[in-house]
Amino acid sequence: MRAAHATARSAALDAAEAAPGLTPLDHADARVVDPDTPRLLLPLARALVLANRAMLALGMLALVAASLVLTSSVVTRYVWKASTDWQDETAVFLLVGATFCCGAFVQAIRGHVGIEALATVLPRLADAWRRVLVDALCLAFCTLFAWKSWTLLREAWVDHQTTSSSWAPPLWIPYALMTVGMTLLSLQLVVQVTASGRRAARVRR
């Protein structure tokens, strides 16, 4: 396992060195810790690699489960005319969990939708610091989102809040999924901002 990680890391660095216009950022791999990560953050980065793998596996299971629940909802509603309140909300909870909890994994591979028009016209130095600025702004937003998620989770837990449906499951469930996902995403951005900053500091005009 370690040998495979080392090989993948070496391949990414070799590719970056072979193509002067590229950086290890362009070869992002969720299985490998970014070599520009500061030593102080290496334990966090390694923990995030493991956490992202776990969340990816759970997210895939959640999507499969949501599809099965929605399929059974259609069958029970139109064949047996049975109530499907619990099935609809269960599917929503599963999709919320898959969406938020896999956000850090998607960020680790730079898989979010992005516009690279500026990257083609800016000098290398300006583009490197643009990446740092974008990551820093994303970190600020996600940190605020994570903090708000924690407050909503606490309120839902303390006040025993539930949804307004007849099934009325506790609201702390989706808030907990949202909190875990945004916290992981914020930590992932902390690692990537510091790595991007170190990389940009080495770029020459």
Q: What is the pLDDT of residue 7?
A: 44
Mean pLDDT of 2-9: 45
Say whether pLDDT at 33 is over 90. Answer: no
Distance of alpha carbon 166 from alpha carbon 85, whole angstroms? 7
- How far, in Å, are 12, 28, 202 from residue 15 at the CA level? 5, 12, 17
Residues in the chain: 205
Q: What is the pLDDT of residue 28?
A: 64
Q: Count CB neighbours of 168 within 10 A.
A: 13
pLDDT digit string, tens, across residues 56-86: 999 999 999 999 999 998 888 888 877 777 8
Mean pLDDT of 53-58: 96
Mean pLDDT of 136-158: 96
The answer to whether 186 and 23 are in contact (CB under 8 A) is no
- How far, in Å, are 20, 108, 201 from residue 14 at the CA level? 11, 20, 20
Say whether pLDDT at 11 is over 50. Answer: no
Q: What is the pLDDT of residue 133?
A: 93
